[in-house]
Structure 1
Amino acid sequence: MNYLQIAGFLDNSLTNGEGLRSVVYVSGCNHKCKGCHNEAMQDYDYGDKVLIEEVLQRIKNNIPVVKGVTFSGGEPFEQAQVLSRLASEIRKLDLNIWCYTGFTFEEITNDISNNKQWMELLNQIDILVDGRFEEGKKDRKLKYKGSSNQRIIDVKKSLEKREVILFIP
Protein backbone atom coordinates (compact mmCIF):
# COMPACT_ATOMS: atom_id res chain seq x y z
CA MET A 1 0.00 0.00 0.00
CA ASN A 2 1.58 3.26 -1.17
CA TYR A 3 -1.39 5.52 -0.55
CA LEU A 4 -2.50 7.59 2.41
CA GLN A 5 -6.08 8.73 2.84
CA ILE A 6 -5.47 12.33 3.84
CA ALA A 7 -7.98 14.91 4.99
CA GLY A 8 -5.62 17.83 4.49
CA PHE A 9 -2.10 19.20 4.51
CA LEU A 10 -0.64 22.38 5.99
CA ASP A 11 2.64 23.53 4.49
CA ASN A 12 3.54 25.34 7.69
CA SER A 13 2.08 25.61 11.16
CA LEU A 14 3.21 26.90 14.54
CA THR A 15 0.36 25.36 16.54
CA ASN A 16 0.74 21.64 15.81
CA GLY A 17 4.02 21.07 17.60
CA GLU A 18 7.21 22.91 18.40
CA GLY A 19 8.69 25.09 15.69
CA LEU A 20 7.52 25.69 12.16
CA ARG A 21 6.31 22.40 10.70
CA SER A 22 4.24 20.78 7.98
CA VAL A 23 1.11 18.92 9.06
CA VAL A 24 -0.40 15.80 7.47
CA TYR A 25 -4.03 15.26 8.50
CA VAL A 26 -5.12 11.67 7.94
CA SER A 27 -8.70 10.52 7.47
CA GLY A 28 -10.51 8.07 9.70
CA CYS A 29 -10.99 7.81 13.44
CA ASN A 30 -13.08 5.55 15.65
CA HIS A 31 -12.58 7.48 18.90
CA LYS A 32 -15.51 9.83 18.19
CA CYS A 33 -14.46 12.26 20.93
CA LYS A 34 -17.27 14.65 21.88
CA GLY A 35 -16.28 18.14 20.77
CA CYS A 36 -13.63 16.87 18.35
CA HIS A 37 -11.87 19.77 16.61
CA ASN A 38 -11.62 17.77 13.36
CA GLU A 39 -14.94 15.90 13.35
CA ALA A 40 -15.21 15.72 9.54
CA MET A 41 -11.89 13.87 9.45
CA GLN A 42 -13.36 10.94 11.40
CA ASP A 43 -14.82 9.66 8.10
CA TYR A 44 -12.43 7.14 6.53
CA ASP A 45 -13.37 8.32 3.02
CA TYR A 46 -12.96 12.04 3.76
CA GLY A 47 -10.31 13.82 1.72
CA ASP A 48 -8.13 12.26 -0.95
CA LYS A 49 -6.13 9.12 -1.54
CA VAL A 50 -2.58 10.39 -2.13
CA LEU A 51 0.67 8.62 -2.96
CA ILE A 52 3.27 8.68 -0.18
CA GLU A 53 5.75 10.11 -2.69
CA GLU A 54 3.45 13.10 -3.35
CA VAL A 55 3.15 13.86 0.36
CA LEU A 56 6.91 13.50 0.77
CA GLN A 57 7.58 15.85 -2.14
CA ARG A 58 5.28 18.46 -0.65
CA ILE A 59 7.21 18.21 2.64
CA LYS A 60 10.53 18.50 0.78
CA ASN A 61 9.26 21.66 -0.92
CA ASN A 62 8.93 23.25 2.54
CA ILE A 63 12.54 22.62 3.56
CA PRO A 64 14.50 24.54 4.94
CA VAL A 65 11.59 26.62 6.25
CA VAL A 66 10.05 23.79 8.28
CA LYS A 67 11.97 21.87 10.94
CA GLY A 68 9.47 19.06 11.46
CA VAL A 69 6.32 17.25 10.42
CA THR A 70 3.20 16.51 12.46
CA PHE A 71 0.77 13.65 11.87
CA SER A 72 -2.74 14.49 12.99
CA GLY A 73 -6.23 13.68 11.91
CA GLY A 74 -8.31 11.66 12.13
CA GLU A 75 -6.30 8.96 13.89
CA PRO A 76 -2.76 8.44 12.54
CA PHE A 77 -2.44 4.98 14.08
CA GLU A 78 -5.36 3.83 11.89
CA GLN A 79 -2.94 4.19 8.95
CA ALA A 80 0.18 3.11 10.83
CA GLN A 81 1.66 0.91 8.12
CA VAL A 82 1.70 3.63 5.46
CA LEU A 83 2.59 6.44 7.87
CA SER A 84 5.52 4.39 9.14
CA ARG A 85 6.95 4.28 5.61
CA LEU A 86 6.39 8.02 5.19
CA ALA A 87 7.99 8.68 8.58
CA SER A 88 11.03 6.64 7.59
CA GLU A 89 11.52 8.89 4.55
CA ILE A 90 10.95 12.04 6.63
CA ARG A 91 13.68 10.87 9.01
CA LYS A 92 16.15 10.88 6.10
CA LEU A 93 15.40 14.60 5.70
CA ASP A 94 16.53 15.26 9.28
CA LEU A 95 13.10 16.53 10.33
CA ASN A 96 11.51 15.74 13.69
CA ILE A 97 8.12 14.07 13.87
CA TRP A 98 5.22 14.82 16.20
CA CYS A 99 2.04 12.75 16.23
CA TYR A 100 -1.39 13.36 17.76
CA THR A 101 -3.35 10.25 18.74
CA GLY A 102 -6.47 9.42 20.69
CA PHE A 103 -4.76 6.27 21.94
CA THR A 104 -2.61 6.44 25.06
CA PHE A 105 1.07 5.56 24.96
CA GLU A 106 0.22 2.51 27.07
CA GLU A 107 -2.51 1.36 24.67
CA ILE A 108 -0.08 1.58 21.78
CA THR A 109 2.80 -0.20 23.49
CA ASN A 110 0.65 -2.86 25.20
CA ASP A 111 -1.10 -3.80 21.97
CA ILE A 112 2.03 -4.48 19.92
CA SER A 113 1.37 -8.21 19.81
CA ASN A 114 -1.86 -7.47 17.94
CA ASN A 115 -0.53 -4.63 15.82
CA LYS A 116 3.24 -4.47 15.34
CA GLN A 117 2.67 -1.71 12.78
CA TRP A 118 1.77 0.61 15.66
CA MET A 119 5.19 0.03 17.19
CA GLU A 120 6.91 0.55 13.84
CA LEU A 121 5.22 3.95 13.59
CA LEU A 122 5.85 4.81 17.25
CA ASN A 123 9.57 4.13 16.79
CA GLN A 124 9.69 6.83 14.08
CA ILE A 125 8.00 9.49 16.24
CA ASP A 126 9.88 11.96 18.43
CA ILE A 127 6.95 13.46 20.33
CA LEU A 128 3.54 11.86 20.89
CA VAL A 129 0.54 13.87 22.07
CA ASP A 130 -1.63 11.07 23.44
CA GLY A 131 -5.11 10.54 24.79
CA ARG A 132 -8.64 11.16 23.66
CA PHE A 133 -9.89 14.73 23.64
CA GLU A 134 -12.17 15.26 26.65
CA GLU A 135 -14.49 18.21 26.22
CA GLY A 136 -14.90 18.67 29.99
CA LYS A 137 -11.13 19.07 30.31
CA LYS A 138 -10.74 21.46 27.38
CA ASP A 139 -8.41 24.37 28.09
CA ARG A 140 -7.43 26.85 25.38
CA LYS A 141 -4.38 27.90 27.42
CA LEU A 142 -2.73 24.50 27.02
CA LYS A 143 0.17 24.41 24.62
CA TYR A 144 0.00 21.79 21.84
CA LYS A 145 -2.95 19.88 23.29
CA GLY A 146 -6.70 20.36 23.58
CA SER A 147 -7.57 18.88 26.97
CA SER A 148 -5.69 18.51 30.25
CA ASN A 149 -5.79 14.68 30.21
CA GLN A 150 -3.61 14.59 27.11
CA ARG A 151 0.14 14.21 27.52
CA ILE A 152 3.09 15.41 25.45
CA ILE A 153 5.50 12.48 25.51
CA ASP A 154 9.15 12.16 24.56
CA VAL A 155 8.86 8.84 22.74
CA LYS A 156 12.56 7.92 22.52
CA LYS A 157 13.19 8.52 26.23
CA SER A 158 9.95 6.75 27.19
CA LEU A 159 10.81 3.65 25.18
CA GLU A 160 14.34 3.65 26.61
CA LYS A 161 13.20 4.00 30.23
CA ARG A 162 10.07 1.85 29.75
CA GLU A 163 7.95 4.54 31.40
CA VAL A 164 6.28 7.70 30.17
CA ILE A 165 8.67 10.64 30.08
CA LEU A 166 6.89 13.92 29.43
CA PHE A 167 8.22 16.51 27.02
CA ILE A 168 8.05 20.04 28.40
CA PRO A 169 7.76 22.60 25.58
Structure 2
Amino acid sequence: MDDVIRIAGIVEESFVDGPGIRFVVFAQGCKHSCEGCHNPHTHDFNGGMLVSTDDMIEKMKKNPLLDGITLSGGEPFEQAKGFGMMALKAKQKGYHVMTYSGYLFEDIIDRSKKDQDWKRLLLNTDVLVDGKFEEDKKDLLLKFRGSKNQRLIDVGESIDSGSLVILD
Protein backbone atom coordinates (compact mmCIF):
# COMPACT_ATOMS: atom_id res chain seq x y z
CA MET A 1 0.00 0.00 0.00
CA ASP A 2 1.30 3.45 -0.83
CA ASP A 3 1.58 6.33 1.61
CA VAL A 4 -1.41 8.44 2.54
CA ILE A 5 -1.32 12.09 3.56
CA ARG A 6 -3.97 14.46 4.89
CA ILE A 7 -4.19 17.55 2.72
CA ALA A 8 -6.20 20.77 2.68
CA GLY A 9 -6.07 20.89 -1.11
CA ILE A 10 -3.92 21.21 -4.20
CA VAL A 11 -3.20 23.75 -6.92
CA GLU A 12 -2.36 21.95 -10.13
CA GLU A 13 -0.53 24.89 -11.76
CA SER A 14 1.00 27.70 -9.73
CA PHE A 15 3.44 30.38 -10.84
CA VAL A 16 3.95 31.94 -7.38
CA ASP A 17 4.86 29.02 -5.09
CA GLY A 18 8.37 28.39 -6.36
CA PRO A 19 10.37 28.55 -9.58
CA GLY A 20 8.62 27.62 -12.81
CA ILE A 21 5.24 25.95 -12.97
CA ARG A 22 4.46 24.15 -9.71
CA PHE A 23 2.07 21.50 -8.45
CA VAL A 24 1.25 22.64 -4.90
CA VAL A 25 0.09 20.33 -2.12
CA PHE A 26 -1.19 21.97 1.07
CA ALA A 27 -0.65 19.82 4.15
CA GLN A 28 -3.55 19.69 6.61
CA GLY A 29 -2.48 20.30 10.20
CA CYS A 30 -0.22 22.89 11.78
CA LYS A 31 0.86 23.63 15.36
CA HIS A 32 2.49 27.01 14.66
CA SER A 33 -0.67 29.20 14.73
CA CYS A 34 1.12 32.14 13.11
CA GLU A 35 -0.80 35.37 13.52
CA GLY A 36 -1.93 36.52 10.08
CA CYS A 37 -1.45 33.05 8.55
CA HIS A 38 -2.42 32.96 4.88
CA ASN A 39 -3.91 29.45 5.25
CA PRO A 40 -5.64 29.22 8.67
CA HIS A 41 -8.05 26.59 7.32
CA THR A 42 -5.08 24.18 7.21
CA HIS A 43 -4.44 24.21 10.98
CA ASP A 44 -6.95 21.54 12.09
CA PHE A 45 -5.27 18.12 12.03
CA ASN A 46 -8.65 16.44 11.46
CA GLY A 47 -9.72 18.61 8.54
CA GLY A 48 -9.07 18.22 4.85
CA MET A 49 -9.00 14.88 3.08
CA LEU A 50 -6.83 11.79 2.84
CA VAL A 51 -5.05 11.20 -0.46
CA SER A 52 -2.51 8.75 -1.79
CA THR A 53 0.96 10.11 -2.53
CA ASP A 54 1.03 7.89 -5.62
CA ASP A 55 -2.20 9.51 -6.84
CA MET A 56 -0.62 12.95 -6.39
CA ILE A 57 2.46 11.92 -8.40
CA GLU A 58 0.23 10.44 -11.13
CA LYS A 59 -1.69 13.74 -11.31
CA MET A 60 1.62 15.57 -11.74
CA LYS A 61 2.79 13.25 -14.50
CA LYS A 62 -0.28 14.16 -16.58
CA ASN A 63 1.00 17.73 -16.94
CA PRO A 64 4.21 17.88 -19.02
CA LEU A 65 4.61 21.60 -18.27
CA LEU A 66 5.30 21.14 -14.54
CA ASP A 67 8.76 22.00 -13.24
CA GLY A 68 8.24 20.84 -9.70
CA ILE A 69 6.17 20.30 -6.62
CA THR A 70 5.74 22.65 -3.68
CA LEU A 71 4.82 21.24 -0.28
CA SER A 72 3.05 23.94 1.70
CA GLY A 73 0.63 24.02 4.53
CA GLY A 74 -0.27 23.58 7.08
CA GLU A 75 3.04 22.06 8.09
CA PRO A 76 4.48 19.30 5.88
CA PHE A 77 6.90 18.18 8.59
CA GLU A 78 3.95 17.25 10.84
CA GLN A 79 3.31 14.47 8.30
CA ALA A 80 6.96 13.88 7.48
CA LYS A 81 6.52 10.19 6.66
CA GLY A 82 3.98 10.74 3.87
CA PHE A 83 5.35 14.04 2.60
CA GLY A 84 8.88 12.64 2.71
CA MET A 85 7.81 9.71 0.53
CA MET A 86 6.02 12.05 -1.86
CA ALA A 87 9.12 14.27 -2.10
CA LEU A 88 11.26 11.18 -2.77
CA LYS A 89 8.88 9.97 -5.51
CA ALA A 90 8.82 13.44 -7.07
CA LYS A 91 12.64 13.63 -7.07
CA GLN A 92 12.82 10.17 -8.65
CA LYS A 93 10.60 11.49 -11.47
CA GLY A 94 12.94 14.47 -11.97
CA TYR A 95 10.84 17.17 -10.31
CA HIS A 96 12.27 20.07 -8.29
CA VAL A 97 10.94 19.97 -4.70
CA MET A 98 10.28 23.05 -2.60
CA THR A 99 9.00 22.78 0.98
CA TYR A 100 7.58 25.44 3.27
CA SER A 101 7.98 24.97 7.02
CA GLY A 102 7.40 27.05 10.12
CA TYR A 103 10.32 25.19 11.72
CA LEU A 104 13.82 26.61 11.40
CA PHE A 105 16.32 24.78 9.21
CA GLU A 106 18.63 24.24 12.18
CA ASP A 107 15.81 22.61 14.18
CA ILE A 108 14.86 20.42 11.22
CA ILE A 109 18.50 19.29 10.92
CA ASP A 110 18.56 18.41 14.65
CA ARG A 111 15.28 16.48 14.48
CA SER A 112 16.46 14.71 11.30
CA LYS A 113 19.33 13.15 13.25
CA LYS A 114 16.84 11.03 15.21
CA ASP A 115 13.79 10.95 12.91
CA GLN A 116 14.24 9.21 9.55
CA ASP A 117 10.95 10.59 8.20
CA TRP A 118 12.05 14.19 8.82
CA LYS A 119 15.43 13.33 7.29
CA ARG A 120 13.79 11.87 4.16
CA LEU A 121 11.64 14.96 3.67
CA LEU A 122 14.59 17.31 4.22
CA LEU A 123 17.00 15.40 1.96
CA ASN A 124 14.45 15.27 -0.86
CA THR A 125 13.78 19.01 -0.65
CA ASP A 126 15.78 21.21 -3.03
CA VAL A 127 14.68 24.54 -1.56
CA LEU A 128 13.27 25.11 1.92
CA VAL A 129 11.43 28.22 3.06
CA ASP A 130 11.85 28.11 6.83
CA GLY A 131 10.49 30.04 9.78
CA LYS A 132 7.07 31.04 10.99
CA PHE A 133 5.20 33.79 9.21
CA GLU A 134 5.57 37.00 11.27
CA GLU A 135 2.94 39.57 10.44
CA ASP A 136 5.04 42.53 11.63
CA LYS A 137 7.74 41.47 9.12
CA LYS A 138 5.32 40.93 6.24
CA ASP A 139 6.71 42.07 2.88
CA LEU A 140 4.77 41.55 -0.34
CA LEU A 141 7.92 42.07 -2.43
CA LEU A 142 9.77 39.03 -1.07
CA LYS A 143 10.34 36.19 -3.50
CA PHE A 144 8.41 33.06 -2.42
CA ARG A 145 8.14 34.23 1.21
CA GLY A 146 5.66 36.15 3.30
CA SER A 147 7.83 37.75 5.97
CA LYS A 148 11.43 38.99 6.21
CA ASN A 149 12.42 36.46 8.89
CA GLN A 150 11.75 33.55 6.53
CA ARG A 151 14.72 32.21 4.59
CA LEU A 152 14.98 30.66 1.13
CA ILE A 153 17.52 27.87 1.67
CA ASP A 154 19.39 25.67 -0.80
CA VAL A 155 19.13 22.45 1.20
CA GLY A 156 21.63 20.34 -0.78
CA GLU A 157 24.33 23.02 -0.83
CA SER A 158 23.76 23.78 2.85
CA ILE A 159 24.17 20.14 3.83
CA ASP A 160 27.14 19.55 1.50
CA SER A 161 29.00 22.68 2.66
CA GLY A 162 28.08 22.38 6.33
CA SER A 163 26.91 25.99 6.38
CA LEU A 164 23.68 27.74 5.54
CA VAL A 165 23.32 28.68 1.86
CA ILE A 166 20.63 31.33 1.38
CA LEU A 167 19.14 31.99 -2.05
CA ASP A 168 17.92 35.40 -3.23
Shorter-chain TM band: over 0.9
SS at match of 1:71: strand
Between 1:80-89 and 1:144-153, the stretch displaced more is 80-89
- The residue aligned with 2:62 is 61
Q: Which amino acid aligns with 2:121?
A: L
Percent identity of equivalent pairs: 39
**1:8 maps to 2:9:** yes
Task: Summarize the alignment of residues 75-154 of structure 1 with structure 2, pairs less than 5 Å apart.
Answer: 75-154=75-154
The alpha carbon displacement at 1:114 in A equals: 4.0
Partner of 1:165: 165
Query: Take 1:68 and 1:75, find their aligned partners in 2: how far apart are those partners?
Result: 19
Task: Report the secondary structure of 1:118's partner residue.
Answer: helix
Alpha-carbon offset, residue 133 of structure 1 = 0.3
Query: Unmatched 5+ residue regions in structure 1?
Result: none
Aligned residues: 167
Q: Give 1:162 deviation, angstroms.
A: 1.3
CA apart distance, 1:115: 2.3
CA distance in structure 1 between the partners assigned to 2:85 and 2:112 by the alignment: 17
**4+ long deviations beyond 6 Å:** none
What letter matches 2:130 in structure 1? D
Structure 2: 5+ residue runs without aligned partners?
Answer: none
Find the aligned partners of 1:80 and 1:61 in 2 and give their Cα distance: 25
- Bigger shift: residues 106-115 or 68-77: 106-115
The equivalent residue for 1:30 is: 31
Aligned to 1:21: 22
Q: Deviation at 1:70? A: 0.2
**Does the 8 Å contact 2:85/2:120 carry over to 1?**
no
> Per-residue CA shift, 1:113-157, capped at 9, x if unaligned?
442321111000000000000000001111100000000000000
TM-score by length of 2: 0.96
The CA RMSD over aligned residues, in Å, is 1.1
Structure 2 CA distance, aligned partners of 1:54 and 1:78? 20
Q: If the length of structure 1 is used for normalisation, what is the TM-score?
A: 0.95
Aligned partner of residue 36 in structure 1, secondary structure: coil
